[in-house]
Structure 1
Amino acid sequence: MMKAHGYAAYNPHTPLAPFSFDRRQPGSDDVLIKILYCGVCHSDIHQARDEWQGSTFPIVPGHEIIGKVLEVGSSVSRFKVGASVGVGCMVDSCGTCHDCQDHQEQFCNHTVFTYNSPDKITGTMTYGGYSDVIVVNQRFVLQIAEHLDLAAVAPLLCAGITTYSPLRHWQVGKGQKVGVVGLGGLGHMAVKFAHAFGAKVVLFTTSPSKIADAKRLGADEVVISKNSEELQKHQQSFDFILDTVAAQHNLDQYLALLKRDGTLCLVGVPDQPHPSPSVGNLIFKRRALAGSLIGGIRETQEMLDFCAEHNIVSDIELIDMADINHAFERMLKSDVKYRFVIDIQTLNQHSISGGQPASIPSAAELKAANAVG
């Protein structure tokens, strides 16, 4: 085992703090990665605060990982030491089920997620990218173009693929009118992709202050979703709407905007269920209410290659590791344009100094302390 350092949530109620733990030694099919940057996803907050009621503590969040290869196993041929690579939301799956064989590993019943997920190899929980190193099977490591801003690439590993995949699945393209609900970490990527695919893009937001930014990112029009008159103008006119909002809200106002056979797709996961939509809104125009979960590894690489070709990256704010708790607070206020990314190279300096505890608790020490408490 090798020692790793990061920041962890020790329980749902206290700020993230420095944490040391063990990573497995790389096997023949593994890639050892020095983490350079890690994006901050809203699901990191959900899990750190146990809002989905499935968290196992301590949690080292982070599934938007960009780094450099430090070492490769004897069976690894696709990656070389020094290469820029990425790791997204998954680090393993069964590899044999229908979903895996169809390159849709995210739907495998035995997917191992990058953090807070039972690790089939070690028998412990996985720890994510708010840390300095990670060991990942080569099947779940992604190639990253060297000419892009690596920090701004990090959110593509979740926010990017989460929006790219449904737009591709529902074949969004030229001649279509597409709506995007919300202009946050997911929404700003959805606008960029839908625009790049040639669709007419309409952004729905509750914030008039986001109008200029939405148009800069590629929206052809912006609708203030609280304004019923603006919504009325777009009744029954959309081919597809991608709803990126991770908070409970009314879905009927967006279903009513769809044409016959249109689809409203949800990718935001709220901590409380949405109110049930009207059945009439679905059946009288044969509309569909659907969902989408990230994307498979093959499609994620396709997305990264598309971004490299078209120079698409996320709009980010780069932060020090020690600022993660403040970043969480700002995210809850929607005060970020449009994704925080942690500079992991700041981890060691802030873990040792800057008022942080001199002694970093290990996973074993924490487990023992929890058993006593």
Structure 2
Amino acid sequence: MTTSVTAYAAPAPKAPLEKTTVERRALREHDILIEIAYAGICHSDIHQAREEWGSAQFPMVPGHEIAGVVAEVGPGVTKYAVGDRVGVGCFVDSCRECANCLAGEEQFCLKGEVQTYNGTEYDGAPTYGGYSTHIVVDENYALRIPEGISLDIAAPLLCAGITLYSPLAHWNAGPGKKVAIVGLGGLGHMGVKIAHAMGAEVTVLSQTLRKKDDGLRLGADHFYATGDDSTFTELAGTFDLIVNTTSANLPLDGYLSLLKVDGTLVHVGAPENPSAFSQFSLIMGRRSMAGSKIGSIRETQEMLDFCAEHGLGAEIEVINGDQINEAYDRVVSSDVRYRFVIDIASLNA
């Protein structure tokens, strides 16, 4: 039997989110029921609720930065018990049979992983995300939140944390490496923290110096304004790795010029429009340009354990459910430092 739970949903593209109820499925053999404590607001929630990334499904309950506690388990569950602290990230299932799933890279499932929201289960049912009091997921797609990270600052790690951890780990950020993080927002601030904890020399590249004090406090060694043309001259050929967290169309040739020979520019933000660059920006330094998409279940657990070990969590502003629409506008205006997190208990107020 399904269960009705309270949620906030966008009833149509660009419509304000409103309180409603959605149905959660009855527990299958390997399912767990999670009582959600906190859900982070990711900019991708806004893009999808406002249908800025193409056709979407409505009503939509966004939210893929979910932290809570196991409230019930299916009869075959072995990984979790009632009372365990758990999280859910950007996807809740994958085919488990393709080469990528078998290699432990479920985020690149060839059949298409099942998105936590604005997606469709393999049986055709729509998925609803974390702006709700409860969610049901297969135990194999839940993450254990270590003791030592409170659930509110852990929630954004399930997207923002892994989105930055994955490229930093893959491209070997660490001692002796010079890493630049483009943008100090919900993603970028976690990139600074994680790259610093990995032992890299970290530089923030931001439009202005407005957030310089924050950047240095979070672990950056240097902070430069990209609005100042001299930055590109001064830093030419400096970095082993640049991670671009923005969803703006940047002058890519300028950023590529900041890489050393064999350096890599990795994009984790997705602009609405295509970007252009000259191939000579790659050719002249044997440079690479790449993209990175969240991480696997294994790597996401690795990230959570790493954050617990180093005392890392997101910088957050906790809000109630009735503040979601205001929060969306503030995110678009870059008026948050650095992640809104919804107190899900407020949905029942």
Same fold (TM > 0.5) = yes
Q: Are the equivalent residues in 2 in contact too, given 1:223–1:231 (CA < 8 A)?
A: no
Question: Equivalent residue for 2:4?
Answer: 3
Question: Equivalent residue for 2:313?
Answer: 313
SS at match of 2:82: coil
Greater shift after overlay, 89-98 or 244-253?
Answer: 244-253
Cα distance in 2 for partners of 1:213, 1:93 equals 38
Cα distance in 2 for partners of 1:251, 1:245 equals 12
Question: Equivalent residue for 1:111?
Answer: 113
Displacement of 1:126: 0.2
Cα distance in 2 for partners of 1:208, 1:214 equals 9
Residue 168 of structure 1 aligns with an amino acid whose one-letter code is A
- What is the number of equivalent residue pairs in this alignment? 347
Equivalent residue runs for 1:225-236 within 5 Å:
225-236=226-237
Q: Are the equivalent residues in 1 in contact too, given 2:232–2:257 (CA < 8 A)?
A: no
Question: Equivalent residue for 1:86?
Answer: 87
SS at match of 1:209: coil
Question: Equivalent residue for 1:352?
Answer: none
Cα distance in 2 for partners of 1:163, 1:20 equals 33
Question: Equivalent residue for 1:301?
Answer: 301
Question: Equivalent residue for 1:120?
Answer: 122
Cα distance in 2 for partners of 1:212, 1:30 equals 45
Q: Are the equivalent residues in 1 in contact too, given 2:37–2:68 (CA < 8 A)?
A: yes
Question: Equivalent residue for 2:144?
Answer: 143
Displacement of 1:325: 0.2
Displacement of 1:333: 0.5
Q: Are the equivalent residues in 1 in contact too, given 2:208–2:227 (CA < 8 A)?
A: no
Cα distance in 2 for partners of 1:232, 1:82 equals 55
SS at match of 2:187: helix
Gaps of 5+ in 1: 350-373
SS at match of 1:227: coil
Q: Are the equivalent residues in 2 in contact too, given 1:33–1:133 (CA < 8 A)?
A: yes
Q: Cα deviation per residue 1:128-175 (whole Å; 9 max; x = unaligned)?
A: 000011000011010011322210000000000000000000011100
Equivalent residue runs for 1:1-373 within 5 Å:
1-109=2-110, 110-121=112-123, 123-274=124-275, 276-349=276-349
Cα distance in 1 for partners of 2:279, 2:47 equals 30
Q: Cα deviation per residue 1:38-69 (whole Å; 9 max; x = unaligned)?
A: 00000000000000112111100000000110
Q: Cα deviation per residue 1:305-361 (whole Å; 9 max; x = unaligned)?
A: 011111100000000011000000000000000000000000011xxxxxxxxxxxx
SS at match of 1:185: coil
Q: Are the equivalent residues in 1 in contact too, given 2:14–2:51 (CA < 8 A)?
A: no
Cα distance in 1 for partners of 2:339, 2:195 equals 19
Residue 82 of structure 1 aligns with an amino acid whose one-letter code is G
SS at match of 1:235: coil
Q: Are the equivalent residues in 2 in contact too, given 1:202–1:223 (CA < 8 A)?
A: yes
Displacement of 1:27: 0.7
Cα distance in 1 for partners of 2:299, 2:259 equals 27
Cα distance in 2 for partners of 1:102, 1:292 equals 17
Cα distance in 2 for partners of 1:51, 1:174 equals 39
Cα distance in 2 for partners of 1:13, 1:215 equals 36
SS at match of 1:302: helix
Question: Equivalent residue for 1:353?
Answer: none
Cα distance in 1 for partners of 2:250, 2:239 equals 19
Q: Cα deviation per residue 1:221-247 (whole Å; 9 max; x = unaligned)?
A: 001001111221110111000000012
Cα distance in 2 for partners of 1:112, 1:232 equals 44
Cα distance in 2 for partners of 1:339, 1:251 equals 27
Cα distance in 2 for partners of 1:272, 1:335 equals 23
Greater shift after overlay, 38-47 or 7-16?
Answer: 7-16
Residue 115 of structure 1 aligns with an amino acid whose one-letter code is Y
Cα distance in 1 for partners of 2:263, 2:186 equals 24
TM score, norm. by length of structure 2: 0.98
TM score, norm. by length of structure 1: 0.92
Cα distance in 2 for partners of 1:273, 1:179 equals 23
SS at match of 1:322: helix
Displacement of 1:102: 1.1
Cα distance in 2 for partners of 1:137, 1:54 equals 27
Greater shift after overlay, 312-321 or 112-121?
Answer: 112-121
Cα distance in 2 for partners of 1:326, 1:2 equals 29
Residue 160 of structure 1 aligns with an amino acid whose one-letter code is G
Q: Cα deviation per residue 1:272-309 (whole Å; 9 max; x = unaligned)?
A: 222x1111101111110100000000000000001111
Q: Are the equivalent residues in 2 in contact too, given 1:46–1:271 (CA < 8 A)?
A: no
Q: Are the equivalent residues in 1 in contact too, given 2:156–2:314 (CA < 8 A)?
A: yes
Displacement of 1:207: 2.5
Greater shift after overlay, 73-82 or 319-328?
Answer: 73-82
